[in-house]
Amino acid sequence: MPALIFDLDGTLVDTVYAHVFAWQKALQETGMAVDGWRIHRKIGMSGGLFTRAVGREIGHELTDEQAEELQLIHDRLFRELLPLEERRPLPGAIALLAELRDRDVTHGIATSGRRPSIDASLESLGIPDDTVVVERGDVARAKPEPDLFIECARRLDADPAECYVIGDAVWDLLAARRARMLSIGLLSGGYGADELQAAGAFRVYRDAAELHSSLDELGI
Amino acid sequence: MPALIFDLDGTLVDTVYAHVFAWQKALQETGMAVDGWRIHRKIGMSGGLFTRAVGREIGHELTDEQAEELQLIHDRLFRELLPLEERRPLPGAIALLAELRDRDVTHGIATSGRRPSIDASLESLGIPDDTVVVERGDVARAKPEPDLFIECARRLDADPAECYVIGDAVWDLLAARRARMLSIGLLSGGYGADELQAAGAFRVYRDAAELHSSLDELGI
């Protein structure tokens, strides 16, 4: 039986557009405006890689202080724009995770986000405390490096070759390839289907709800 | 010489993600939460069509009062999220429009937005007052109906068969087909290239800057 490793933002919770807009405002506040669509296509990378990519967009590298300031402003704006009580699971996410528990399908969550800022998202999903969750602070390198998924497979005691990664961003799918895992793309993060397929997704579903009703296509 | 008809939001000004997030908050405030990516893929429709599409998402039609309230909340949130002074042209937009003026290339703007809420966007582009701008209030039906583009061609005294529509959303490209115009897609609104091609774009560029440096590909 395969094991499932889920991304969090844009895959299980509806936070991508709040993240995009928080970064857009943070960049504007610090005098480094970047187009919204370019920010959108970078969501899901680690914050460190994200600020390096921003440096490329604006034509010069950010200093460590600038990168840290930017991250802090983003975090503050994100909390203001999307208060904890408005953190919302994507359609089908809660039911899908509940069925995986009921049927003893091995599964975990691996996210480029950090505690405590991901805590409200995890809470909104109503998952038990013993769910395997690997976050940015648990590994040396975040997506598109494979470390988060490899660490999640290790904690699940699953063979990477038997793991499916489920994600909404090309960074999930690239990291899955590098971890020697198959991957499934969801449109719920706002990428187009072709972008996900080109990055290696062998199936693309609209959202967790459609994935839930298609589990047999994965041999589950 | 062909005439160029431009969409505004996401094509010339970087407003798409602020619109998505304003709709997302407005829908949440009125108890009708809709996923961010589904809202994103509806931006660029007229407000009336948008609220009808929202009705499909939430499973029941909105009353006229609900639709109007939703639009008002969106407009307020949009102004709060993206104050006038933060309205920002997309890369290359100002220079492209300036070159079209310099070279006497017939061109205009046709938007599903309404005055006065589009005024700050137009101002940020620094275009002269006599630029042809067709807005929602000028026609009976908005995109994906062809009326905005047909009216723009009429005011430009241009043959629709000689017009190119430049837009970032599939609704621009569908409306262009129905107006018997060729269309060009820009990635600056956050759609994937395949979505734009599938909707009829015969060329796709990153943004106005890349279009500017590729005008010869359009025979201009």
A53 and A155 together in one domain: no
Last residue of a domain, one of B84, B102, B120: B84
Catalytic residues of A: 7, 9
Q: What is the pLDDT of residue B58?
A: 84
Q: What is the pLDDT of residue B1?
A: 86
Please judge whether B195 and A192 are an interchain contact, meaning their C-beta atoms are less than 8 angstroms apart. Answer: yes
Query: Which chain A residue has its CA at the smallest distance from B92's CA?
Result: A35
Please judge whether B40 and A21 are an interchain contact, meaning their C-beta atoms are less than 8 angstroms apart. Answer: no
**Percent of chain B residues topping a pLDDT of 70:** 100
B25 and B46 together in one domain: yes
- Counting the structural domains of chain A, the total is 2
pTM: 0.95
Nearest by CB: B36 against A17, A28, A39: A17
Last residue of a domain, one of B58, B84, B110: B84
A139 and A37 together in one domain: no
Q: What is the pLDDT of residue A219?
A: 87
Q: What's the domain range around A148?
A: 3-14+87-218
**Percent of chain A residues topping a pLDDT of 90:** 82
Q: What is the distance between the alpha carbons of residues A20 and A36, in angstroms, rounded to a whole number?
A: 7
What digits encode the pLDDT tens for the residues A44-86? 887 778 888 889 888 888 899 998 999 999 999 999 999 998 9
B78 and B109 together in one domain: no
pLDDT of B210 above 90: yes
A186 and A95 together in one domain: yes
Q: What is the pLDDT of residue A187?
A: 98
A93 and A188 together in one domain: yes
Across the A/B interface, how many CB contacts are shorter than 8 Å? 79
Please report residues of B whose CB lies closer than 8 A to that of A195: 192, 194
A68 and A91 together in one domain: no
Q: What is the distance between the alpha carbons of residues A174 and B64, in angstroms, rounded to a whole number?
A: 46
Residues 6+ apart with CB under 8 A from A160: A149, A150, A153, A179, A180, A181
The model's confidence at residue B54, banded by pLDDT at 50, 70 and 90, is: confident
Last residue of a domain, one of B64, B84, B104: B84
**Percent of chain B residues topping a pLDDT of 90:** 82
B20 and B60 together in one domain: yes
Q: What is the pLDDT of residue B60?
A: 87
A109 and A150 together in one domain: yes
pLDDT of B187 above 80: yes
Crossing angle of helices B16-29 and A16-29, rounded to 10° = 130
B105 and B213 together in one domain: yes
Please report residues of B whose CB lies closer than 8 A to that of A40: 17, 190
Catalytic status, residue B7: yes
CATH number of domain containing A61 = 1.10.150.240
B67 and B125 together in one domain: no
Ranges in chain A, pLDDT < 70: none
CATH number of domain containing A172 = 3.40.50.1000
A51 and A137 together in one domain: no
Q: What is the distance between the alpha carbons of residues A203 and A186, in angstroms, rounded to a whole number?
A: 9
* Preceding amide of B144 cis, omega within 30: yes
What digits encode the pLDDT tens for the residues B63-81? 999 999 999 999 999 999 9
Q: What is the distance between the alpha carbons of residues A176 and A11, in angstroms, rounded to a whole number?
A: 15
pLDDT of B106 above 80: yes
Q: What is the pLDDT of residue B126?
A: 95
Supply A154's token pair: 């290790």
CA angle A179, A157, A104 (to 5 degrees): 110
Query: Which chain A residue has its CA at the smallest distance from B31's CA?
Result: A86
